[in-house]
Each structure stands twice: as structure tokens, then as C-alpha cells.
Amino acid sequence: MNRLLSLAIMFLMVSNLMAQEPEAQNRPNRPRARRSMVPTPSYPATADADGNHVNAHGGCIIAYNGEWLWYGEARPRFGFTSEGVSLYTAPIGTQPISASDSLAATPLDLKWKYRGLVLTVVDEAGSPIERGCIIERPKVLYNERTRQFVMLFHSELKGRGYEAAQTGFATSESPYGPFRLHHVQRPNPGRWPADFSDEDIKRAKALNPSDYPEWWTPTWRTAVEQGLLLAKDFESGQMSRDMTVYVDDDGTAWHIYSSEENLTLQAAELTPDYLGYTGRYYRIAPGGQNEAPCLLKHGDTYWLICSGCTGWTPNEARMFSAKSIQGPWTQHPSPMQGPGAKRTFEAQGTWIWTQPSPTADSPTLYFMADVWMPRSLALSRHLCLSITFEGDLPVIRK
């Protein structure tokens, strides 16, 4: 009886493993067979040139020397740790591979070539990127002054869950890597937000977490807005989790990240070499609980598209606009429209992919997003939707 039971368990485990193979059978034109307890993903896989699902999540796509470079989280088949950052490339200007009669090709259906891991976790005990760590949402910038490629990412230490909440900085002479870890840190220790008045600082300094043992009460919320959690991390540096980067028209690079226990976003100015912070930072939507920030500029307006904070589960997107990254930011309804909009089409944003448009003056903008599959993060799907402007407001439909 015991033997039968173990055989049955083994069979279930093996069929579960088989169903999660991201091999050629998962190409967009072949819907996956329903073979096991693993939920059928709501989107087809993104096949690379070898027919494997693209294992690059929470990433970014930048242009370099006639190629698109797609950097993203390389996730293991099982578990929540990281393998590093992977790179896929595709020539700019080529047409998406047509998917099938029933599935329209998206800009993501290019012939992506896997170029390997450009940042890898290491076996050195105590390294911030020791195997078992978490590396999320890598973003890559080219720094013209230093002629270096700089990667920023959300860095969590081995065995410590999401408590470290640091930014990792890595550099490479070449966009194809290898990127070497420069350092990890929390942004702006010992600094108050640039727009905090003396009065704001005095009030924040007086806030004491032990006076607010219960979270989510109206008084706690007011204290958070006034800087309760900001003040808590004043000495050690601000927490930094979900993130994006943006280089402004004047060349200033900004790091925008979920801070203050994911309650408040912050926009921090990077030093000219992109390897640290100048000390100037601003809060966005204090107490608003926003994650997954994606930033674009249209005309003279900056648009920030975010998600709410529900872990790997989809939620309704949020949107803010401002005339300057320093704010003030105004909230708008979600830009998602049509069926599925309330749950961001099951996805969570990661990047605004800017593509030159041969016909229009302004580039075509795409909202890139991850359809997370926490039971196998490596298999998380990708969504790429064009952003249009209707009456000056960004609109995203599926």
C-alpha cells in the first residue's frame, strides 16, 4: 500500500515537472496541453530563437548598436530565489515572428537570442549576491561620462526574505556583460526629502513607531504620510524594493522605488556616474502603497504607472502625472481599459519600451508587464501592450 502511495506521489511529481518545461511545445502557436495540477497560464510562452521560454522577468529593453537588449530576472524553475540577470537580444527593425492565425504577433515576438547570464549569483559566503539571494527588476543605463553600462536592481540577501530592501549597483564595459557587482546600499542615509521643510522634519522626527503598534488605523496612516517610516530608516537609509530608472532630458538619472515598507514611492537623484545617490530625493504618493513603477514622458508631462501591493497576485494599476519628476504628482484613474482592466490583464508593469515609429513624430510606447506564475517564476509570462493617448491621457488596452 505504502509502495503504491509513493508511486502515485512520484507520478504526480514527474507529471507536474513535465508540465512546467518551457520547451518548444510552448511556442505561441501551440497552446499548452492541460496535463497536470499546474494551472494553465493565461498567456502563451514567449519563445526565444531556440524555442525556450524567455526567462527574463521584471526587466527592461534598451536599444544599443542596432539591437534590442532585453535584461531581466533569471528565475529558477522552482522557488523564489535568483540565478542572476539574463540577456536576450534581437535586431532592431526586424518584424515579429508571426504567431498563428488566432494569436496576433506582439512586439515581443521577435527572434530573441539568449546571450546568457550577464550578472550571476556567486558562491562566496556573505556576498550580497550569494546564491540564495533575490535579484529583482534589473534596469540598465549607459553612462556616457564613464562609458560604462550600469545596472541597478532590487537586492535582497540570502535567507532574509525581503527585509534588506537595498539597491544593487553593477557595472560592465560591455552591454553583453559580465556585470560585476559594485555595491549594494539603501538610498540616502541621513537625508530628509529635498522638499521637506524644517517643520516637516521636526514633525517626522517626533514620530515614534512604538506609539503606533497597530498598523492600518487612520492615525497610523496619517503618521505614515507625515514620515513615520521614513524617519524609522533615516539613519540606515531608505528601503528600496520595486524600482525603475529614468534619465531626464537634462541628463539627470533618477531611481524610482517602493520605499517606507512599500507604503511610499521615492524618486532619488543618482550621482553623475549613476553609482550612488546625490542626497536629493522626493516622495511620491505618501501612504499610497504603490509598487512596480514604470515612467514615461509625453510632451511636457511625466506619467507614472504603478501597481498596488498584493504580492504576486494581479491588482488594478494606478497612474500619476507631474510636470517634473520632483512632483507634485496628481493621481488619475488606471490607464487600463476594456475586459480585464481591473486586474491589469493579470499582469504587473515592469518597463516602458520606447520604439522609434517610422510614420509618427513621437516614438511608439509599449507597457511591458509580467504575468507572474509564483509556482514557477521562470515560466512567468510577458505582456507588451501599446500605449496610446486619448484626450492627453495614456490608455492601455489588450
By CB under 6 A, name the binding residues for ligand DGJ.
Answer: 58, 136-137, 242, 291-292, 311-312, 348
Name the minimum Å distance from CB 292 to ligand DGJ. Answer: 5
C-alpha cell at 17: 515537472
Q: Which class for 311: exposed (0-12), middle (13-18), buried (19 or more C-beta within 10 A)? A: exposed
Closer residue to ligand DGJ (CB): 32 or 375: 375
Closer residue to ligand DGJ (CB): 56 or 207: 56
Closer residue to ligand DGJ (CB): 89 or 307: 307
CB atoms within 10 A of CB 126: 7
Closer residue to ligand DGJ (CB): 207 or 294: 294
CB atoms within 10 A of CB 112: 22
Instruction: Give Dmax over CA atoms of the chain in angstroms.
Output: 74
Name the minimum Å distance from CB 78 to ligand DGJ. Answer: 16
Distance of CA 218 to the CA centre of its chain: 30
Closer residue to ligand DGJ (CB): 137 or 186: 137
Instruction: Name the one residue in this structure whose C-alpha cell is 535582497.
Output: 156
Closer residue to ligand DGJ (CB): 136 or 269: 136
Closer residue to ligand DGJ (CB): 78 or 312: 312
CA distance 168 to 129: 9
CA distance 118 to 184: 17
C-alpha cell at 183: 555595491
CA distance 58 to 155: 13
Closer residue to ligand DGJ (CB): 83 or 136: 136
C-alpha cell at 167: 539597491
Name the minimum Å distance from CB 290 to ligand DGJ. Answer: 10
Name the minimum Å distance from CB 72 to ligand DGJ. Answer: 11
Name the minimum Å distance from CB 339 to ligand DGJ. Answer: 23
Nearest residue (beta carbon) to ligand DGJ: 311
Tell me the residue type at 106: T
Closer residue to ligand DGJ (CB): 54 or 204: 54
- b or e along 201-221 (b: 16 or more beta carbons within 10 Å of the residue's beta carbon)? eeebeebeeeebeeeeeeebb
Closer residue to ligand DGJ (CB): 207 or 263: 263
Name the minimum Å distance from CB 137 to ligand DGJ. Answer: 6
CA distance 264 to 258: 6
C-alpha cell at 325: 519628476
Name the minimum Å distance from CB 242 to ligand DGJ. Answer: 5
51, 24 contact by CB (below 8 A): yes
Q: Classify residue 281 by its DSSP letter.
A: E
Distance of CA 332 to the CA centre of its chain: 21
Angle separating helix axes 198-205 and 218-226, nearest 10 degrees: 130
- CA 391-264-160 angle, to 5 degrees, is 130
166, 240 contact by CB (below 8 A): yes
